[in-house]
Amino acid sequence: MDKLIAQKAKALLKEPKKIVIIGHKNPDGDAIGSCLGLGFFLKNEGHDVQVIMPNDFPEFLKWLPGCESIIVHEKETDKSKDLIDSAEIIFTLDFNAFNRTGDIAPFLEKSKAEFILIDHHQQPDDYAKVIFSDTSMSSTAEMVFHFIDALEGKKSITSEIATLLYTGIMTDTGSFRFPSTTAITHRVIADLIDAGAINYSIHEGIYDSNSEDRMHLLGVALKNLEILPEYNTAYITMSQKELDDNNFKKGDTEGFVNYALSIKGIVLAIIFIENKQENIVKMSLRSKGEFSVNNLARKYYNGGGHTNAAGGRSEKSLSETISEFITILPNYKNELTNED
């Protein structure tokens, strides 16, 4: 972490402050792990800290230390508004544009707090006094570790903090296998295990908590898998009815898109998930190599993310979204077929 950025953060955190830490809408393991991990650290340093999420988070994260203290804006809007209004410092973690926080965005726009941004997504907006943005990082949780280290706090990493940061790194790296996983990532993981993260328990907590319904839903997803060999592309669709028939719960479809990407030769994989409540089709995009799903999601799907993992949405119906997607693909034929 750049020394100048660390100095700015240190100066802001010299005295006890009223701090709010916010993650993105539909929080994942990295958002929850990095926000709660940083939260514990700052609390132990004497600050008044509250973690707020725009909406609820999946069941498989609900065992994480401190998760019961999170305020979910959608459920406790007045409390969340008051906390944001009175905050002196607002950390925004694992996103870099206010619109990623959904209904919280207008309150962030109005806020007089100093913002500290810690994030690894591309193209950050310019709203923060302290910007720690690094797209080469595996996860925001790894960045929080470097942030704590820059504040000379490594010795203050408790087993709770270690568990949370380990979870964020593990979930964002596909268990340490994506290209963003570096030797430094593994050194950070070693430090976290030394500090009390129990690696096998965390893996079990996250990955061995499937419900029978989720397994049936996975069966439907795999049945719906379509391959477009001329574009090295595979996609999965999930209709609202299929979700309802299998008692869908938040988080149940997480990771399904990776099955499409795991097919030999596939460069681009997408899952399209119908959401009748919001009247949108939500999509998760994944790629191998140079092909940028961030660019694709930004251009066509009002989204973004990283080169190899991004998200977006369409306001068309599920079938129209798929037809449109198929008409977009020829624009990328060269990029999709020139990969190694």
Query: For binding to ligand 5GP (CB under 6 A), which residues are involved?
Result: 24, 100, 121, 284, 303-306, 309-313
Rounded distance between C-alpha atoms, residue 17 and residue 49, angstroms: 8
CB-based closest residue to ligand 5GP: 311
Place of tokens 């251009």: 299
Q: Which is nearer to ligand 5GP, 107 or 272 (CB)?
A: 272
| Strand 71-72 with 48-53, pairing | parallel
Q: Point out which residues pair with 92 in neighbouring strands.
A: 22, 117
Rounded distance between C-alpha atoms, residue 148 and residue 153, angstroms: 5
Q: Which is nearer to Mn ion, 3 or 177 (CB)?
A: 177
The yes or no reply on residue 172 touching Mn ion (CB under 5 A) is yes
Please report how close the Cβ of residue 292 comes to ligand 5GP at its closest, in angstroms.
Answer: 12
* Cα-Cα-Cα-Cα dihedral sign, residues 108, 110, 116, 120: positive
CB-based closest residue to Mn ion: 30
The count of other CB atoms within 10 Å of the CB of residue 219 is 11
305 contact, one of Mn ion, ligand 5GP, none, CB 5-8 Å limit per kind: ligand 5GP
Q: Looking at 22-30, 103-111, 130-138, 200-208, which segment touches Mn ion (CB under 5 A)?
A: 22-30
The yes or no reply on residue 30 touching Mn ion (CB under 5 A) is yes
Q: Which is nearer to ligand 5GP, 121 or 146 (CB)?
A: 121
Candidate list 32, 93, 94, 274; residue touching Mn ion; CB under 5 A: 94
Binding mask 129-158 for Mn ion (x = CB under 5 A): ----------xx------------------
Rounded distance between C-alpha atoms, residue 62 and residue 240, angstroms: 25
One-letter identity of residue 123: Q
For residue 315, CA distances in Å to 17, 167, 171, 248, 276 come to 41, 33, 29, 21, 10
27 contact, one of ligand 5GP, Mn ion, none, CB 5-8 Å limit per kind: none
Q: What is the largest CA-CA distance in the chain?
A: 60
Residues binding Mn ion (CB under 5 A): 30, 94, 139-140, 172
